[in-house]
Amino acid sequence: MPDIDGLPLREWTPRPQVRTAVTAVDTPAAPCIDVHNHLGRWLSDDGDWLIADVDSLIRMMDACQVEAIVNLDGMWGDELSENLVRYDVAHPGRFLTFCQLDWMLLAEPDGEARLIASLEDSARRGARGLKIWKSLGLQARDPAGELVLPDDPAVVRVVRRAGELGLPVLIHSADPIAFFEPLDADNERLDELRGSPDWWFGDPSVHPTFDRLWEAHAALVLACPGTAFIGAHVGNLAEDLDRVSALMDAASNYHVDIGGRMAELGRQPRRFARLVAEHPDRVLFGTDIYPADEEQYRLHFRFLESDDESFEYAPGSPIPPQGRWAVSAAALPAELLPALYRGNAARVLGIAPAETPAEALVETPAETPAS
């Protein structure tokens, strides 16, 4: 018997021996819009574009029937314009770039006015929405040095202005829960936090609690009924779909994307399918996989459409990055797919219906002669 008592956890990479069916889903049941992705420069290590060759990205999108990708990396000012020129203007209908706001300006006495001016400038330049990053609630401070939470009155006024300008708001608050839990043997995201220690916010003397932040997120949504929201990563609470569902019930302006949360949804696929069935007009397709690739799009189609069980959500990773488990697919009913893949996003983003022949085929009801 080999000695395994001293085997460190990081070297334990068990290979499941279960044999299960693999359903290939090469193209989605309807053309899709990926509402959560990153194509810009601010997230890249070297300051270069995350996509070096836009034409080859478009060939991949065509092969996977990805009609359009939302680029959340527009930032503001000239950086926004450069994103717009490279993507939206060069390839009409294929990309929608969102702007961001520099929430650190809230530390200045005239911060709110400058944020509103920035938003108006971004709308004029052609931004298609506003992305709010989770620095709001964790980093941005007011002139007195206090953290600014998402339901701060100044934030509410800025976000209402986004609604008046016709900009939907995709917002990431707090999420995931494990980043706010003690960093110890019980933490389900220990592998991920070991690799990215900056992502841990679990010291209550420094950061608000997860619940405080999520409640502020919900309060912001309720305070801005004229603004369309997309709660990132399944409403920033993929671990608790009952609470997400309750916010959708309370706020008809609240939508969610599924970006980056196959791991969470795939450990409760039946609860997820129920969420979609109960809110067929509110759940939006997104991946948050960057650089976007064919394998991951097809894995998402398989996750949504097949009934495959127990497969890897991050194929090729020796240790699953978001938790040591496998996922099972959601087997969503075919009639729910066109809205999830495209229709809901098109409505929220202001895209005309049926821009492509394939979409027209999907959405045109069959004419049956009266008998």
Taking alpha carbons only, the member of 241, 243, 239, 179 closest to residue 210 is 179
Taking the least distance from each CB to Zn ion, the nearer of 72 and 149 is 72
Are 150 and 222 within 8 A, CB to CB?
no
Residue 335: how many other CB atoms lie within 10 Å: 10
- 32 pairs with which residues across the strands? 66
Write the CB contacts of 49 (distance below 8 Å, at least 6 apart in sequence). 39, 40, 41, 86
Q: Read out DSSP for 311-363? A: B-SSTT-SS-TT-S--B------GGGHHIIIIIHHHHHHTPPS--SHHHHHHH
Taking the least distance from each CB to Zn ion, the nearer of 261 and 342 is 261
Q: Read out DSSP for 178-204? A: GGGS-SSTT-TTHHHHHH-GGG----T
Taking the least distance from each CB to Zn ion, the nearer of 25 and 80 is 80
Taking the least distance from each CB to Zn ion, the nearer of 239 and 359 is 239
Taking alpha carbons only, the member of 270, 294, 264 closest to residue 192 is 264
Main-chain dihedrals φ then ψ at residue 105, nearest 5 degrees: -60, -20
- What six digits make up the tokens of 261? 């949360």
Taking the least distance from each CB to Zn ion, the nearer of 215 and 288 is 288
Q: Smallest distance from the beta carbon of 196 to Zn ion, in angstroms?
A: 14
Taking the least distance from each CB to Zn ion, the nearer of 39 and 116 is 39
Taking the least distance from each CB to Zn ion, the nearer of 245 and 287 is 287
Q: Smallest distance from the beta carbon of 288 to Zn ion, in angstroms?
A: 4
H or E stretch covering 97: strand 95-97
Q: Smallest distance from the beta carbon of 43 to Zn ion, in angstroms?
A: 8
Q: Which residue is nearest to Zn ion (CB)?
A: 288
Q: Smallest distance from the beta carbon of 270 to Zn ion, in angstroms?
A: 26
- What six digits make up the tokens of 249? 């019930």
Handedness of CA 315, 320, 321, 323 (dihedral sign): positive
Q: Smallest distance from the beta carbon of 362 to Zn ion, in angstroms?
A: 27
Return d(Cα 104, Cα 194) in angstroms, integer. Answer: 28
Taking alpha carbons only, the member of 290, 285, 361 closest to residue 330 is 285
Q: Smallest distance from the beta carbon of 36 to Zn ion, in angstroms?
A: 6
Q: Smallest distance from the beta carbon of 51 to Zn ion, in angstroms?
A: 15
Query: Which residues are near Zn ion by CB under 5 A?
Result: 288
Q: Smallest distance from the beta carbon of 326 to Zn ion, in angstroms?
A: 23
